[in-house]
Amino acid sequence: MTPAVPLVPVILCGGTGTRLWPLSRASYPKQYWALAGDGEETLLQQTQQRLEGLPGLAPPLLICNEGHRFIVAEQMRQIGVEPAAILLEPIGRNTAPAVAVAALQATAKGDDPLLLVLAADHVIRDAAAFRASVEAGRAAAEGGLLVTFGIVPTGPETGYGYIEAAEPLRNEAPVPIARFVEKPDRATAEQFLAAGRFTWNSGMFLFRASAILAELERLAPEVVSSCRAALDQDTADLDFLRLEREAFAGCPSVALDVAVMELTGLGTVLPLEAGWSDVGSWSALWETADQDASGNVLRGRVISEDARNCYLRSEHRLVVGLGVDDLVVVETDDAVLIAHRERAQDVRTIVRQLEAVGAREGSAHRRIYRPWGSYDGIVEGERWQVKKIVVNPGASLSLQMHHHRAEHWVVVQGTAVVEKDGVEELVGENQSTYIPLGAKHRLTNPGKIPVEMIEVQSGPYLGEDDIVRFEDRYGRTESGPTENDQLRDRLVRAQ
């Protein structure tokens, strides 16, 4: 029996998912949340897990924003997956450059695997049907054709692009593509459904790495040259490959559909019926989720009484839906969305308003994630603030000092090793320690459970950019936070 050609998942983790605000934000977008099903797996984790059982399945290539790199690595670790590489984009450049980088990386050692290009933020309820479609497209892709998966329409949707097949659609094998059509009006969408040869454009692809590279070289050579330069000058950053910023920034921002699929003669489409959704809004999430007898989807600490056709979600506080219909209610630690389901798409306008006035809620959560864990700003005053800090097992904060603040640490769970000016001490539950202003310090969690502690900061300036790092196991050489953190801190101080 001939062994299967290696199948490399290419999982695109970009995007900010503003239509699922207030849960999804730029600092922690929707692909990293558990939104589909009743389990704890995130959309990214589900994207990888639904591939299990495919012949020749190889470790995935993941492409993400460099600010999300530790989130991606941790979520893969949680499900026991070691990626072939996590490629870091210094700036978003759409899907054609991302696929070009993946193809260049996959062929760097002379290999020519199949690439299965997937978005990290899609919901597919029938994983077995999805795997069957991948297998149905394998022979065509191995032979050099470019396969895209067209979603069989469930209605005259005007929010998706469409693909017209040149022949009657078949589940057994892909057929040539006649054309791509941008989002139509409703009358046109109804005509498409009646014709029977149109599917929604899912943005998922299957092809040989060499085949897509050859078409990119022919149809969009500037994309390949920029990506090759960015990859040739990449730098290893722990388990990540950081693309060279200047070369990648010079790459055109273009979708793979526009750069290749609309122009190539090798494009084929395979119909997919697997309960697919791109989770483009809260109303779409309500439609794809399991509903109770009253048509409600309830998540978290929610009580529903005489409510119908609602999506009610609580991340922290109790949410009660009483005598309401057709609402979306989403509660987070710092914002609450209440919207009619038919207006859920318009939440983007709210995010734009928040960004326009510099409100931190538009882009960042109160909880900020770090490679070692997270911190949550609880309360603050004129010259003090209180945070809850969680340090993962085996993780360590950088060796650092502050010019303008002192810190009091109270451990409420686990045991921490605290280093102060070269002296180590063990701090257990219900014990505390004091970090004087200017002291060189570090906290390490040597145990098997997270360390949770309350940090009280005091001083004339409490900004996150008052950090001088001396050593850091995560390769963060800068003094101070990322751009998102600096923005968040400026906004907090201004309020």
Q: Is it the case that residue 306 has pLDDT exceeding 90?
A: yes
At CB < 8 A and 24+ separation, what contacts does 244-247 make? 244/90, 245/90, 245/91
Average pLDDT over residues 47-65: 96
Average pLDDT over residues 452-457: 97
**For residue 159, what pLDDT is reported?**
87
Distance (Å, rounded) from C-alpha 368 to C-alpha 334?
Answer: 13
**For residue 16, what pLDDT is reported?**
77
| Mean pLDDT, rounded, of the chain | 92
State the pairing for strand pair 384-391/451-458.
Answer: antiparallel
Of 56, 59, 85, nearest to 72 (Cα)?
85
**For residue 127, what pLDDT is reported?**
96
pLDDT band for 487, please (50, 70, 90 cuts): very low
Residue 481 or 97, more confident: 97
pLDDT band for 490, please (50, 70, 90 cuts): very low
Largest CA distance in the chain: 75
Q: Is it the case that residue 86 has pLDDT exceeding 50?
A: yes
- CA distances in angstroms from 32 to 64, 75, 90, 117, 332, listed in the order given: 12, 8, 19, 18, 15
Distance (Å, rounded) from C-alpha 203 to C-alpha 124?
Answer: 13
Average pLDDT over residues 181-192: 93
**For residue 25, what pLDDT is reported?**
92
Of 256, 288, 276, nearest to 199 (Cα)?
276
Q: Is it the case that residue 63 has pLDDT exceeding 90?
A: yes
Contacts of 114 (CB under 8 A, 6+ apart): 5, 6, 7, 8, 56, 138, 141, 142, 206, 207, 208, 209
Distance (Å, rounded) from C-alpha 162 to C-alpha 369?
Answer: 38
**For residue 480, what pLDDT is reported?**
41
**For residue 492, what pLDDT is reported?**
38
Average pLDDT over residues 261-289: 94
Predicted confidence (pLDDT) per residue in 356-372, tens digit: 999 989 988 888 888 89
Distance (Å, rounded) from C-alpha 3 to C-alpha 243?
Answer: 33
Q: Which residue has the tokens 């001396």?
A: 470
Predicted confidence (pLDDT) per residue in 221-244, tens digit: 999 999 999 999 988 877 799 999
Of 176, 173, 177, nearest to 162 (Cα)?
177
**For residue 2, what pLDDT is reported?**
57
Average pLDDT over residues 456-461: 96
Of 192, 126, 210, nearest to 153 (Cα)?
192
Distance (Å, rounded) from C-alpha 483 to C-alpha 403?
Answer: 20
**For residue 95, what pLDDT is reported?**
96
Average pLDDT over residues 397-404: 96
Distance (Å, rounded) from C-alpha 394 to C-alpha 160?
Answer: 45
What is the percent of the chain with per-residue pLDDT over 90, rounded to a whole number? 83
DSSP string over 321-346 = EES-BSEEEEE-SS-EEEEEGGGGGG
Residue 486, phi then psi, degrees to nearest 5: -65, -40
pLDDT band for 17, please (50, 70, 90 cuts): confident
Q: Is it the case that residue 38 has pLDDT exceeding 80?
A: no
Domains of the chain, earliest start first: 7-277 (3.90.550.10), 282-353 (no CATH), 367-494 (2.60.120.10)
The answer to whether 450 and 392 are in contact (CB under 8 A) is yes
Q: What is the radius of gyration, based on Cα positions, of the chain?
A: 24
Average pLDDT over residues 37-45: 88
pLDDT band for 482, please (50, 70, 90 cuts): very low
